[in-house]
Amino acid sequence: MQEMVKIAKALADESRIRMLKLLLERDICVREMQEIMGISQPQVSRNLKTLMDAGFLKRWREGKCIAYVADRNSNNRFCKAILDTLAESFSDNTAVSRDKERLQQVIEQQLRKRAD
């Protein structure tokens, strides 16, 4: 039951649900998430830690930053089912659409920086 409580607490915040939607799209570093969400680095890190502790994410070090991605193959059956459902949900949500647009902008900025 404690596992379900952690999951419920992780999903009790709209920002964390929006982050999960983005992390279902691709891996994202803390700095990138900060740019996309428009919140401080400590807030991003705290939200990602909550999602990680609940079993929704995988992470690894990528250069100077830590990258996160939704763990669609999670051993936690509840997380896996929620991620599968979330992947199909909220596509028409304004905030989610804005987040995806901002993600695309961040990716394009990075590509331009690499090209320079």
Per residue in 84-100, pLDDT (tens digit) is 999 999 989 999 999 99
Q: Are 67 and 28 in contact (CB under 8 A)?
A: yes
The pTM (predicted TM-score) of the whole model is: 0.90
Q: Report the domain count for the chain.
A: 1
Task: Inform me whether the pLDDT recorded for 110 exceeds 90.
Answer: no
What's the average model confidence in pLDDT over 6-25? Answer: 95
Model confidence over 64-77: pLDDT tens digits?
889 999 999 988 89
78 CB contacts (<8 Å, ≥6 apart)? 3, 4, 7, 55
Chain-wide mean pLDDT for the chain?
92
**φ, ψ of residue 28 in degrees (nearest 5):** -140, 135
Task: Name the 3-class secondary structure at 74.
Answer: coil
| Domain span including residue 62 | 2-115
Instruction: Judge whether 41 and 30 are in contact, CB under 8 Å.
Output: yes
Supply the CATH number for residue 37's domain. Answer: 1.10.10.10
